[in-house]
Amino acid sequence: MDEKIAKQVLEDVSGAVGLEEGTEGIRKILRFVCRFEPVPLHDLSRAVMIPVPVVSAVRRELEKRNIYSRKSGIVLTQKGKMLLQAIGIYSSKLPELKLEYSAPEWLGPVAKQFRSIQELRPAPDFTLDQSHVDSETSALRSAYLYEHDALGGRDLIFMGDDDLTSLAVCLLSSEYDLNIGTITVVDVDTRILRFISKSARRIGVEVNTIECDLRQGLPRNLAGRYDVFFTDPPYTINGLRLFASCGVQALRPISGRPVFLSFGSKSPNETIEAYKVISDNGLAVQEVIPAFNRYVGNQLHAGASNMIRCSTTDTFKSVTPSETEFIYTASQKKGTD
């Protein structure tokens, strides 16, 4: 196949789906199947970090053009292989180069206890973009917080916690006898707060829970009182802006403190926006781990999101967001709140 024709196919498919990631997004979706076929749809979505319904639409277009077919997963047709070769992509013997955590066995007990505790958790409220991470992610988060000195002697605040990460931290602390300062959870959902408070007491750790809708701003008495904040904010840029800004306001103005933001992959243009929000709040990026967070049954995030670890700086400021109305996906779609 001619390279020009192949590139035109990528253009056409991208156009037909209206893919924000453009032809490079189509190329990514094709290349992953070329390397690892047969590929289940959900694995493909997670690998390319594009939501399942979007990848599914791309698959439909590629099947229509006889490039993809199905055989216990997505595979390339002969025509598909020729198309990829025309743009320089050959199937190769090279295995995936993956970053993985080396020693998470010692996290086993934490993950196991977490799994059993969370069985009675409140059902997700999708209007609040609730969609929680799996138990392994919760346990890994607690270890990651420990690794980056967010626990020992620290006053820790969670800006929203339907993931129950605070409980994983309680379990790690009780399992390994850590010496956390204080743990505070702010959430708009009283069901979550009650559940966390009750479960923490059972673990033998005190968690302060505070009901609060951050769209009204951070309660005055919480400002400047914490060392570290953790948030997995609503999926929108406005959501990130609001939660990051409230988080920064809650911290004591000291440089070099760790801050943890979980945020899904966005199109390249929206990603620039997200990092602008981070800098604007005086946060310095230290590490970005794609697909660190795995969600249960969440298709919006492609089932995974990035862990963005930052550090506070001297240029400590929080940008008060001007648009706090449309922070949740649902309200954004409806244009109402």
Q: Footprint of a copy of itself on this chain (CB under 8 A)?
A: 21-25, 27-28, 31, 85, 87-90, 92-104, 106, 143-144, 146-147, 149, 152-154, 176-181, 254-257, 268-269, 271-272, 275-276, 278-279, 282-290, 311-315
Alpha carbon 155 to chain centroid, angstroms: 23
CB of 49 to a copy of itself, least distance (A): 9
Between the alpha carbon of residue 315 and those of residues 185, 228, 248, 255, 311, the distances in Å are 26, 17, 11, 8, 11
Question: Which tokens belong to 329?
Answer: 């996906």
| Residue 70 CB, nearest approach to a copy of itself (Å) | 24
Q: Smallest distance, Å, CB 81 to a copy of itself?
A: 13
What is the distance, to the nearest Å, from the Cα of residue 232 to the centroid of all Cα atoms in its chain? 7
* Nearest CB to a copy of itself, comparing residues 31 and 225: 31
Which residue, among 145, 146, 296, 136, has the nearest Cα to 230 in the 3D structure? 145
Quickly count: other Cβ atoms within 10 Å of residue 64's Cβ.
Answer: 11
DSSP label at residue 105: G
Q: How far is the CB of 262 from a copy of itself (least distance, A)?
A: 15
Question: Judged by CB, which is closer to a copy of itself: 25, or 233?
Answer: 25
Which residue in this structure is represented by tokens 């090279």? 94
CB of 285 vs a copy of itself, minimal distance in Å: 5
Which is it for the CA torsion 257, 262, 263, 264, positive or negative? Answer: positive
288/330 with CB nearer a copy of itself? 288
Closer residue to a copy of itself, CB minimum distance, 117 or 310: 310
Task: Tell me how far, at minimum, the Cβ of 119 lies from a copy of itself, in Å.
Answer: 26
Q: Which is nearer to a copy of itself, 29 or 117 (CB)?
A: 29
Q: Which is nearer to a copy of itself, 52 or 277 (CB)?
A: 277
Residue closer to a copy of itself (CB basis): 155 or 189: 155
Q: How many CA atoms lie within 13 A of 115 on its CB side?
A: 11
Q: How many residues does the chain have?
A: 337
157, 229 contact by CB (below 8 A)? yes
Hey, what are 247's tokens? 């988080």
Left if phi > 0, otherwise alpha if psi is -120 to 50, otherwise beta: which for 85? alpha
Between 284 and 319, whose beta carbon lies closer to a copy of itself? 284
Question: Closest distance between a copy of itself and the C-beta of residue 105, in Å?
Answer: 9
Residue 290, preceding bond cis, omega within 30 degrees? no
Least distance between a copy of itself and beta carbon 21 (Å): 5
In the complex with a copy of itself, the residue whose CB is nearer, 2 or 96, is 96
Are the beta carbons of 133 and 293 closer than 8 angstroms? yes
Q: Which residue has the tokens 């999708």?
A: 126
CA 88 – CA 259 distance, rounded (Å):
41
Residues ≥6 apart with Cβ < 8 Å to 296 = 131, 132, 133, 134
Least distance from a copy of itself to the Cβ atom of residue 278, Å: 8
